[in-house]
Every structure is written in C-alpha cells, then in structure tokens.
Structure 1
Amino acid sequence: MTKSAAVRRHLPTSPFTARPEAPRKHFALGDRVTHDRYGLGRVVGVEGSDESAVLVDFGSHQVRITQPYTAMYKL
C-alpha cells in the first residue's frame, strides 16, 4: 500500500497566508528624492543606523519623514 501526499490548497481569503513584505527603501545623505505631497527635495539627515527617519530639504522648508516612506521615492 502506498500513500501519496495530499496537496494542500490555501484559500486567498485565509488569515493564515503570509503576505510578502515590500522591500525597504534606503536613503543616504545627498540623495535626490520626490515626495507625493512636498515635491522634489534632497536628503540632509538620516536618523539611526536603521534609517528610522530622514530629514529632507524641499527648498522652502525641511520635513522629517519616518518609515515606511510610502510616498517618497529616490530619483
């Protein structure tokens, strides 16, 4: 008698399926960036070794932006 392994099917609505994490964005001093709300800017400060927040100069003002940086992109 042989037993075959049953293939388990996961439903898309199952709360037990792990969703893949989006890759983390990394910014360094001097990087040119664009932000959906503030426009074009340059990174002038990075907080912590894990880059928990960055300080961006948008010309008329500076803004501290924290992770996950969903609205900010490197140029």
Structure 2
Amino acid sequence: MTTSARPHLASSPFQPDPEPVIEQFELDDTVSHDSHGLGRVIQVEPSAVLVDFGSHKVRVTSPFRKMFRL
C-alpha cells in the first residue's frame, strides 16, 4: 500500500504538512546509523555521503532517514 501526498486545498481549515528537512553532512562528521551504528563521514557528494563504520564503508543516499549527526 503506497500513500501519496494529497494536494492542500486553499479552503481547508488544516495547515499543510511541513516539508521534510534533509540534513546536510560535512566531512569528518560523526554520525549514527540505525542499521550500521557509529561512523564518520569520509566523502560528501551532492546526493549521498560515504561513511566509514570501521569494519566497512557504506554510501548512504539522500534523504538520510536512518542517519543522524552526533
């Protein structure tokens, strides 16, 4: 089941859903990933980052829903 964003009607008494903020990461940021654990950003691309998690490196694409800056 997929849900798509509904258009906001001007006559609606409810506020539209806020746009999600996509976090920006920089080189050497320490991050936590839900699946891979703690890591360090070693490369930044326009729509992805390469993260060194110690035992392996993972390219994480935007939006970064499972990764947070520490």
TM-score if structure 1 supplies the norm length?
A: 0.72
Distance of 2:11 and 2:62 partners within structure 1: 35
Unaligned runs of 5+ in 2: 1-9
Q: Which amino acid aligns with 1:57?
A: D
Partner of 1:74: 69
Using the TM superposition, give the Cα deviation of residue 22 of structure 1 relative to its aligned residue in structure 2, in angstroms. 1.5
List per-residue Cα deviations over 1:2-59 (Å, max 9, x = no partner). Answer: xxxxxx85266xxxx74211212010000000000000000000013xxx00000000
CA distance in 1, matches of 2:27, 2:51: 9
Misfit runs of 4+, over 2 Å: none
Question: Structure 1: which amino acid aligns with 2:30?
Answer: R
Structure 1 or 2, whichever has the larger Rg, is 1
Identity score, percent: 51
Equivalent position amino acid for 1:37 in 2: S
Q: Structure 1, unaligned stretches of length 5 or more?
A: 1-7
Q: TM-score, normalised by structure 2?
A: 0.77
Whether 1:10 aligns to 2:12 is yes
What is the total number of aligned residue pairs between the two structures?
Answer: 61
1:38 to 36, 39, 47: 36
